[in-house]
């Protein structure tokens, strides 16, 4: 298949592009490089040194003989996007190209407006581009489990059957997003669903959990292919952040009570889920929703797991409960369905001590790059 990976320079997009290329697909990348620019804005960095995108794809071609084409530009610029779609005529469009941090969206008015403008406008442009130029193209959109919030009922995969005053219907599952970033994802989902309904677009919305891990088989082939690893209070996800904290003598910082429970998955499962969606496309007019995660943990559970492995490796690690910078429930019911991807062949990588140890060993090699002032949260919801 011809597949465009938008956001292909990022934490999820880069290993996805390599994986799809290795599996025989003809891959191209769209990226504006804005994530690298945000590092400069926040005076932060990837823990792992990352090569330029040009160096990365050149090394991939040298090692495998497979070419990945690069288009540097922004999805909010429709003329640019149209030219790429005309040239590539993709069978699938994998859309990672959004501002992905909840804390970043909560910094102030400007960051909230940027997040929603970038994310919603970019997705609208993709929808119009598919309609006008490549109507058979399958949109594979990265959503988030955070769209649902933490309802006191089981979360279904996109839709729920409701009986009310003697009548039944199957409706989109209620959304209770917890940040301006998560709201942008909800707006995307509504826009995609509407476009499928009126134009017959085929789309899969992957409501992904929190991703942990660093390497895939492809990114391990050479240091130039290394993936980024975020650890700061704005972009660092919980497990990766805890592992990094454990190696630099920093307390593992659990927000609030630590009972906040979410879905998680390994980066290796992220790339496999994209492949499954691409090779099993939605029908024309279908807005299909998969809950893309493999296990559920509370933040406190993760901290305990990391503490245990770090102590086995000789680190003295304490857990600190910080005042929660977010407005969220800290002790709640959480259970979400996640059967659709497994039914299509996903075999999950589960979180055990060896997975944590593997990430920890990688972190040890680069811990001199940690900017400790960036570890604690500085952004508050209130």
Catalytic residue among 144, 216, 219, 253: 144
Residue 350: half-sphere exposure toward Cβ, Cα within 13 Å: 4
Do the Cβ atoms of 307 and 254 come closer than 8 Å?
A: no
Closest by alpha carbon to 120, among 191, 176, 72, 173?
A: 191
Asked about 181 being catalytic, the answer comes back as yes
Closest by alpha carbon to 308, among 365, 252, 367, 262?
A: 252
Catalytic residue among 185, 268, 305, 340: 185
Residue 302's contacts (CB-CB under 8 Å, 6 or more residues apart) are: 238, 239, 242, 264
Asked about 185 being catalytic, the answer comes back as yes
For 289, the enclosing helix (H) or strand (E) is strand 287-292
Dihedral sign, Cα of residue 284, residue 77, residue 292, residue 225: positive
Backbone angles phi, psi at 20, to 5 degrees: -65, -40
Do the Cβ atoms of 152 and 113 come closer than 8 Å?
A: no
What is the C-alpha separation between 323 and 259, in angstroms, rounded? 13
Helix axes 238-247, 353-364, angle to 10 degrees: 60
Catalytic residue among 71, 181, 212, 235: 181
Helix axes 238-247, 299-312, angle to 10 degrees: 30
What is the C-alpha separation between 1 and 8, in angstroms, rounded? 17
Classify strands 159-164 and 167-172 as parallel, antiparallel or unpaired.
antiparallel
Residues labelled catalytic: 144, 181, 185
């Amino acid at each position: 298949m011809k597949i465009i990976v938008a956001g292909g320079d990022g934490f999820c997009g880069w290993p996805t592009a390599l994986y799809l290329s290795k599996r025989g697909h003809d891959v191209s990348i769209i990226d504006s490089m804005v994530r690298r620019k945000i590092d400069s804005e926040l005076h932060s960095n990837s823990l792992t040194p990352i090569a330029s995108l040009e160096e990365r794809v050149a090394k991939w071609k040298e090692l495998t003989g497979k070419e990945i084409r690069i288009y540097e530009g922004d999805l909010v610029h429709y003329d640019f996007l149209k030219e790429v779609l005309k040239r590539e005529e993709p069978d699938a469009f994998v859309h990672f190209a959004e501002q992905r941090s909840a804390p970043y969206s909560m910094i102030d008015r400007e960051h909230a407006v940027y997040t929603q403008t970038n994310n919603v406008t970019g997705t609208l442009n993709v929808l119009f581009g598919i309609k006008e130029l490549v109507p058979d193209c399958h949109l594979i959109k990265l959503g988030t489990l955070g769209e649902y919030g933490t309802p006191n009922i089981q979360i279904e995969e996109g839709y729920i059957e409701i009986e009310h005053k003697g009548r039944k219907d199957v409706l989109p599952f209620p959304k209770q997003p917890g940040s301006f970033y998560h709201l942008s994802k909800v707006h995307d989902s509504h826009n995609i669903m509407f476009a499928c309904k009126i134009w017959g677009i085929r789309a899969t919305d992957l409501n992904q959990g929190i991703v942990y891990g660093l390497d895939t088989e492809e990114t391990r082939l050479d240091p130039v292919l290394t993936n980024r690893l975020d650890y700061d209070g704005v972009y660092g996800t919980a497990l990766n952040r805890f592992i990094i904290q454990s190696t630099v003598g920093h307390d593992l910082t659990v927000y609030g009570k630590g009972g906040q429970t979410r879905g998680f998955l390994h980066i290796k499962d992220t790339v496999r889920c994209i492949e499954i969606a691409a090779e099993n496309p939605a029908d024309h007019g279908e807005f299909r929703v998969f809950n893309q995660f493999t296990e559920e943990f509370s933040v406190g559970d993760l901290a305990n797991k990391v503490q245990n492995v770090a102590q086995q490796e000789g680190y003295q690690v304490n857990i600190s409960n910080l005042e929660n910078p977010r407005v969220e429930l800290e002790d709640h019911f959480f259970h979400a369905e996640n059967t659709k991807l497994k039914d299509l062949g996903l075999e999950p990588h589960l979180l055990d001590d060896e997975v944590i140890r593997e990430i920890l060993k990688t972190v040890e090699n680069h811990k001199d790059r940690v900017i400790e002032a960036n570890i604690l949260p500085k952004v508050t919801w209130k």
